[in-house]
Structure 1
Amino acid sequence: MFDGFRYTVFRLETLQHYAAEYEGEAFQRFVASERDGAPPPLSDTDWGAKVRAATARGRRFNRVHVVTEPLSDYVRFECSWGYRRNSAAGEDIRILPVKQGDWPEGIPALDYWLFDSHKLLLMNYADDGSLISTELVDDPDTIVRANVWRDRAMHLSIPFIDYAAQFDDYMRPR
């Protein structure tokens, strides 16, 4: 689906920890380098290369992550080692910060991808943050709701770069 979209891809993220196997080693390096004071890596990733190529052709990637403050170690890792690189590659990443126990009105606590505003891919996660399944939804009412949620999340969120300015390289408050 990432190769076939024509105009826009939107991602809503709502978890404070994702248990992706491919990130395990990088997360451990993040924790270790934070102790050592090493800077975050600046090299591009496969995702960054995909974003860079698509945005060069005029396509847009948008993402909103609802983050609970104080930030979990995983969200700090995702911001420090992922979002900084991905936003430099051209992805418009936005943060919707909430206090522990709060949730933004009109935003569901679910993750999804929305392609060209009409193809919806729900992401189903276990309590530990591991991906259980994905579900391609073709119900028009659900797709319209996903567009409304996207618009609301974009409206309530702030650009990642602005949000990150209040933190150090490891997303610790200044």
Structure 2
Amino acid sequence: MKSSSDSLGDLFDSFQQEAFRLETLDDYSRSGNVDAYHAYLAGEPQPAGYNADWVDEVRSHTENGKRIRRVHILSRPLTEYLRFELGWGYRKNMTGGEEFFILDVTNRPNPLPGVPDFWCFDSESVAVMRYDDTGRYLGSDVLEAERAREFARYRDTALAHAEPFSEWWASYGA
């Protein structure tokens, strides 16, 4: 881990060109907006203001020419959580300019087995995300700068094997 005081929030505040996120879990239901997930499960409409803070942050970056991209490695059938995340979360976050891709490994090998969830910023900084077995977020570890090249390769591999979310969703998710 980095010995400086850098945090995931610091990396978001300071990136200049691109923030990239790899998601690997089928269930993050014990992290983030748990109330919205329960509303989704109950068949309620999406709450007003759902993900508004994140969409505003994304928009503040994308309006300044920065990119925020995300690849989710998954397989079908989708869990209820993934239906929520993709149907509510991704579609909402796209309104701020976040770009989403799906690496569907249902009928093919995962090109990134064992790679953890992470954020990579400008190919220079990496924060590995930690979750427990139930999908509850435990924190992030900002890695030494020397590890950034390794995670940039993971990013490139994920993007090379993924397809744009909107195309994938139209075929498989919706």
Q: Does 1:104 align with 2:110?
A: yes
Report the Cα distance in structure 1 between the residues aligned to 2:31 and 2:170, rounded to whole angstroms.
Answer: 29
Structure 1: segments with no counterpart, 5+ residues: none
Give how far 1:48 is off.
0.7
Code of the residue aligned with 2:26 in structure 1: it is: Q
Q: Does 1:82 align with 2:89?
A: yes
Q: Does 1:18 align with 2:28?
A: yes
The match for 1:51 is 58
Q: Does 1:66 align with 2:76?
A: no
Code of the residue aligned with 1:121 in structure 2: it is: A
Report the Cα distance in structure 2 between the residues aligned to 1:23 and 1:13, rounded to whole angstroms.
Answer: 16
Report the Cα distance in structure 1 between the residues aligned to 2:98 and 2:35, rounded to whole angstroms.
Answer: 24
Q: If the length of structure 2 is used for normalisation, what is the TM-score?
A: 0.85
SS across alignment from 1:113: strand
The match for 1:145 is 150
The match for 2:127 is 121
Report the Cα distance in structure 1 between the residues aligned to 2:73 and 2:22, rounded to whole angstroms.
Answer: 8
Query: Which of the numbers 15, 22, 25 marks the counterpart of 1:5?
Result: 15
Give how far 1:139 is off.
4.8
Residue by residue over 1:32-77, the C-alpha shift from the partner in whole angstroms, topping out at 9 and shown as x without a partner, is 12xx7x5x56856111111111101001101000012111110110
SS across alignment from 1:134: strand
Q: Percent identity?
A: 33
144-153 vs 11-20, greater mean Cα deviation: 11-20
Preserved CA contact (<8 Å) 1:62 1:93:
yes
Report the Cα distance in structure 2 between the residues aligned to 1:42 and 1:59, rounded to whole angstroms.
Answer: 27
Residue by residue over 1:14-49, the C-alpha shift from the partner in whole angstroms, topping out at 9 and shown as x without a partner, is 00001444421111110112xx7x5x5685611111
SS across alignment from 2:59: helix
Report the Cα distance in structure 2 between the residues aligned to 1:55 and 1:107, rounded to whole angstroms.
Answer: 31
Report the Cα distance in structure 2 between the residues aligned to 1:79 and 1:28, rounded to whole angstroms.
Answer: 15
Code of the residue aligned with 1:18 in structure 2: it is: Y
How many pairs are equivalent? 163
Give the alignment of 1:157-172 within 5 angstroms: 157-166=162-171, 171-172=173-174
Q: Per the alignment, do residues 111 and 20 of structure 1 end up closer, same or farther by CA in structure 2, a change over 3 Å counting?
A: same
Report the Cα distance in structure 1 between the residues aligned to 2:47 and 2:165, rounded to whole angstroms.
Answer: 18
Residue by residue over 1:92-143, the C-alpha shift from the partner in whole angstroms, topping out at 9 and shown as x without a partner, is 110111228x641245431000111111101111111112231110151x22
Q: If the length of structure 1 is used for normalisation, what is the TM-score?
A: 0.85
